[in-house]
Structure 1
Amino acid sequence: MAQPLIPPDVRSRLKDLRLTARRAIGAQGIGLHHSRSRGAGLEFAQYRAYEPGDELRQIDWKLYARSDRFFVREAERESPLAAWLLIDASASMAQADRADPQRTRLDAAKGIAACIAELALRQGDRFGLITLREDGLGLIPPGAGARQRDRLWLELHALSARGLFPQGDRLNPVWERIGAGDLVVLLSDGFDDGAIALAERLAAARREVIFIQLLTVEERDFPFDGGHRFRDPETGEELLGDGKAMRADYLARFAQAQRELDARLDASGIAHVRHVLDEPLDLPLRRLFGRQAAAEYA
C-alpha cells in the first residue's frame, strides 16, 4: 500500500505555517506577499476621484464634507501568490538509504511539494508543478482549489526518477511559464550543476527562488565500513574503496562542497534549506515559513 504524500502527524503541524514570499524589491529573506494593485483592501493606500461604478461604501464622506467633492479610498490588497513547484526527477533522486530502502529522495520531494500545495490551497493561492527530467518536462499550470490539489497529487504519485537533468532548450517551458513575481520552490539533491544554474537564472530574472536540497543519511554521515562499490546512478561511474578509510576525507570534501553551494546560492539571493531523509518532512518548511523565520526576515 502506497504511503500518503503527507503523513497525518505532518499534516497536523501544517496548520501553524503560512506560505509567504517577498515581493518588495530589495527585501532580504521571505516576507508576506502583497500586490501593488488597488482595491477595497484593508491597508489604506491613496484617494482618487469618484468614478461611475465605484461602490458608495468606498466614498470618504468626511472628505466630501470638507471638499464638496467625491473621493474614494483605495487600498493595497493581498493578491494570490503563484507558487511553482519544480521537482528534479533525474536518476539520482531515486537514491535511498540502506536502512530505509523504500524511501527515496524523490519521495521526500513529493511529500514536501504536497505540503506546500496544501499551504497554498488553505490560503487561496495558486500553485503549479514542473517536473524536471531529460526525457520530458511534466507541467501543471498554476491553479487554485481542491481540484488543482488532486491533479497535482495524481502527477506526484505517478512520478518516477530516471535519466539526466534536462539541459538547454528542454528547459524552455520553465522560462516561458514562470512569471515575474512568482515564487519558485526547487527540490533537488543539488548535485547536478544544471539544477543550481537553473535556480540562479530564475533568480537573476527577478523570480523569487527557494532551493530545498534533499540528502540521504548516508551522504550526511557516511556510515560505511569495509569494501564498497559506489556508483553514480546517472553517469554509471564507479568508485571502489574501503568505507572506513575513506570516511574522514569524504566528510571533509562533502562539507566543503556544501559550503560552496551555500555561498553560490547566497550570492544569488536564493533562500535555501537542507532536508535529510531521517528528518521530519515539514522541518524545511518550518525553517522557511515558521513564525520565527518570518520574524527574522520581516
Structure 2
Amino acid sequence: MTESEPGTQQQAQQCAMCGTTTSYPIELNDKFYCSPACVSKYRDQVGHHQFHRDTQATFEQKKKTGPIPERALLYNSMCRRCHKSMAETCNSNQYINGMHRVELRKTETEPWCCHARYNLSSSLSDGTVPLEAARKIQAMAEEMVRNHRKCEEVVGPEGLRQKMAKPGGLSGVTTTILDIAAAEMAANPDYRPREDKTPEPSKEFMVHYAACVECDPAFAAECGEQAVEKELNQCLEEVQGMTQGRWCEHTLHALSALRLNKNMRREKLQRIIVSAEQLKAERNDFGVTTRHLFITLGRAVQA
C-alpha cells in the first residue's frame, strides 16, 4: 500500500470505531477502520501489546489468502517482544515522525515504500533538519532507482548490486535504498546540541503493518531481497558490537544497512552511532529509536 492513493476499493465496511462507512477499509483482526486516526484510537484503547496481537492475527488470516512479506512478519515480531518503556517511546514518536510525509511526497519522482517515506519524514521531526536536507537524501535514493550506475558507485556487496540491476528496473525506493542513500549523504555526522523545535504531534500515525500487507507484491519482493543483504553481509553483527545501551531492533536494522554503502567506513559509522546515542541522552529517552537515527542522518547532510 502506498500513501499516494487509497488501497484497492473493496466492499463498503462500517468503521468499528466511529461508524463511518468506507470503501477503503483498514482491516485489523476481523474488524475494519476508516482511517489511521481510528486505528490510532483503537490502539490507545487496548494498549500496545493487544494491538500487536491483533496485527499478528491479521497476518495469519492474510496468509491463508495470499503471500505475506516475510520481513513484515519479522518486523512485527520485533515490536511484540519490545521492552515496554521502549515501546512507549516509539509509539509516542509515531505521531511526530510521520508528520512530513505529505510534504515529502510533493517532490517524489519515483514510487516509495511507505516505511521508507516515514523514516525520511522522521528526520524532520524535531525541527533541526531543514527540508532541503531531507530532499537531498530523497533525490539520491531516487537516482539509485533510476540509474544503475549510481548503484555501482555507492552499493558495496556484489550480490546487492546485481539485484539492483534487475531487468526492467527497480519498482521504487525501499528502506534499504533509503539507508544507503542517507549513508552517502552523511558528510558531517558529529553531534552538537541544537534547539529542539518539535511541533505539536499529529492526531494520527501511519498504520505500519497495513503498509506491508497491502504492498504491491513485486515491490515487497524487492524490499525483502534487498534487506536480507544485511544478514548475508553480517552487517547486524557488526553494528551490535559498536552500539552502547538499548536500541530499537528496527533501528539497528536501519543502522546496519548503512554498511551496505561501499563508502561508509567504520569510523564514520561509529560517529553516527555516537551522535544518535547522544541525541537519545539529550532527550532523556529510554533507547535509540528510528527518530534519533534519522535526525542524526538528516543533520549530517552537507548544507
Task: Name the TM tier (shorter chain).
Answer: under 0.3
Structure having the larger proportion of residues in strand = 1
TM-score, normalising length: structure 2: 0.25
Give the alignment's TM-score, normalised by structure 1. Answer: 0.25
**Relative contact order (alpha carbons < 8 A, sep ≥ 6): 1 or 2 greater?**
2
More helix by percentage: 2
